Amino acid sequence: MLLCLSVFLKMNLWLLLTLAALAECGHQQSGSHPCPDLCLCSFPPSGAEVVCSHNSLSKFPSDGLSPNTTQLSIQSTNLSGVSASHLSLLPYLKKLQLYHNNLTSLASDLLAGVAHLNTLDLTGNQLVHLPARVFSRASLRSLVMKNNLFEKAEADWFPLNSSITWLDLSGNRLSNVSAAMFQRLPRLENLDLSDNDLQDIQQQTLGDLNHLVTLNLAGNKFLSLKPATFTHNLKLSRLFLQENRLQELPATLFQGLTHLELLLLNQNQLRFLPAGLLDETKAGFRVILTGNPWKCDRKMEYLWKWLGEHPESVLFLQEVTCDAPEALKLKQVISLTDHQLDLMKL
């Protein structure tokens, strides 16, 4: 009995000592890695990662930030300002997310002390204007400025020969974009200009974007596009033109786009497609055509035949229906006969 009691006491003493050691280790570890108030921090081998998402946060969380921080996310707070001196505390910063705050401006030297920064996300602030050269001090590759209040996108924001490959300006108030800006962004692979007020793109605007793979122009106010709009974007794989006001398309609009895999034309005002428009598409190509007021007459012949030859290429094929004439309203285009399209008399 005494032997069992002795063993029990030794085991519990060992357990207490172990727990005490773990607690002390945890205390030391926490003490060696301070974290700002109202933030959460983790410390992987690659460097500290900090997330601050408390709505009572109104100042940059300088106190407690590790100089080894590589990722900082300040989101959904009342932060209204960030300065170069704040960011200079983080010389190894690679990813900075400042979305859904109250930022109204940025300093021209904001990124002067973060030469390694490659990702900057400014989504959901109140930015209207930016100073010249604001993005010239860092090796940015991804820049997101969606859902702000920009009416213009300026070329002088960027350095010559910028390293940016991903640019998102969606959800702003842009009424035009200039070739001069894109001349400074020759490495762009992904460009999102959706949900703006764009009505026109000049033929040479995208001319320097030879590496462009994804282009999103959805949710704008385009009535038409010029024949040579995409002439120099021969690597385009995904092109989003949905939810505009497109009434017709040039027959040569997609000429040379042999890498095109996904094309969205839904929710426009298209009544027919011109002969040859989709002739250069390859195996694996997919298109969405729903939500257009297709007029099922002789001008529909090209699309009707193309649908019959490539039904596997059309997503929501059964929803591609006639809007006119009244006798064919809501009839599936692919089900039409040459008699219904009045082709027998040709």
**What value does the mean pLDDT take over residues 242-263?**
97
Find the CATH number of the domain harbouring 293: 3.80.10.10
Ramachandran quadrant class, 93 (left: phi over 0; alpha: psi -120 to 50; beta: rest): beta
- pLDDT, position 329: 96
Residue 169 domain flag: no
Last residue of a domain, one of 116, 149, 182: 149
Whether 239 and 124 share a structural domain? no
**pLDDT of 19 above 70:** no
Q: What is the mean pLDDT of the chain?
A: 91
Please state, in angstroms and rounded to a whole number, the distance separating the CA atoms of residues 190 and 215: 6
| Cα–Cα distance measured from residue 136 to residue 161, given in angstroms and rounded to the nearest whole number | 10
Among residues of the chain, what percentage have pLDDT more than 90? Answer: 88
Q: Would you say residue 346 has pLDDT above 90?
A: no
Q: Which domain covers residue 278, as residue numbers?
A: 174-346
Does 197 lie in the same domain as 60? no
Q: Are residues 76 and 118 in the same domain?
A: yes
pLDDT of residue 236: 98
Q: Identify the band that residue 344 occupies on the pLDDT scale cut at 50, 70 and 90.
A: low
User: Are 145 and 200 found together in one domain?
Assistant: no
In degrees and rounded to multiples of 5, residue 78 shows phi and psi of -100, 20
**What pLDDT shows up at residue 12?**
54
| Phi and psi torsions of 23, nearest 5° | -65, -40
Cα–Cα distance, 226 to 221 (Å, whole number)? 14
Give the 3-state DSSP-derived string for the chain, with helices as H, strands as E and coil as C.
CHHHHHHHHHHHHHHHHHHHHHHHHHHHHHHHCCCCCCEEEECCCCCEEEEECCCCCCCCCCCCCCCCEEEEEECCCCCCCCCHHHHCCCCCCCEEECCCCCCCCCCCCCCCCCCCCCEEECCCCCCCCCCCCCCCCCCCCEEECCCCCCCCCCHHHCCCCCCCCEEECCCCCCCCCCHHHHHCCCCCCEEECCCCCCCCCCCCCCCCCCCCCEEECCCCCCCCCCCCCCCCCCCCCEEECCCCCCCCCCCCCCCCCCCCCEEECCCCCCCCCCCCCCCCCCCCCEEECCCCCEECCHHHHHHHHHHHHCHHHEECHHHCEEEECHHHCCCEHHHCCCCCCCCCCC
Structure-block tokens of residue 216: 């999103």
Q: State whether 112 and 237 are in the same domain.
A: no
Q: What is the pLDDT of residues 45-80, one digit of tens each?
A: 999 999 999 999 999 999 999 999 999 999 999 999
Q: Do residues 131 and 154 make contact, with C-beta atoms less than 8 angstroms apart? A: no
Q: What pLDDT score does 29 carry?
A: 39
**314-341: per-residue pLDDT in tens?**
999 999 999 999 999 999 999 999 999 9
What's the CA gap between 272 and 72, in Å, rounded?
A: 50
4-13, 162-171, 235-244: which has the minimum mean pLDDT?
4-13
Phi-psi bin for 177: left (phi > 0), alpha (psi -120 to 50), beta?
beta
Is the pLDDT score of 25 beyond 80? no
Q: How many domains does the chain have?
A: 2
Residues 141, 184 within the same domain: no
Q: Assess whether 192 and 128 both reside in one domain.
A: no
Q: Answer yes or no: do 202 and 314 share one domain.
A: yes
Neighbouring CB atoms inside 10 A of 72's CB total 25
Please check whether residue 289 lies inside any domain of the structure. yes
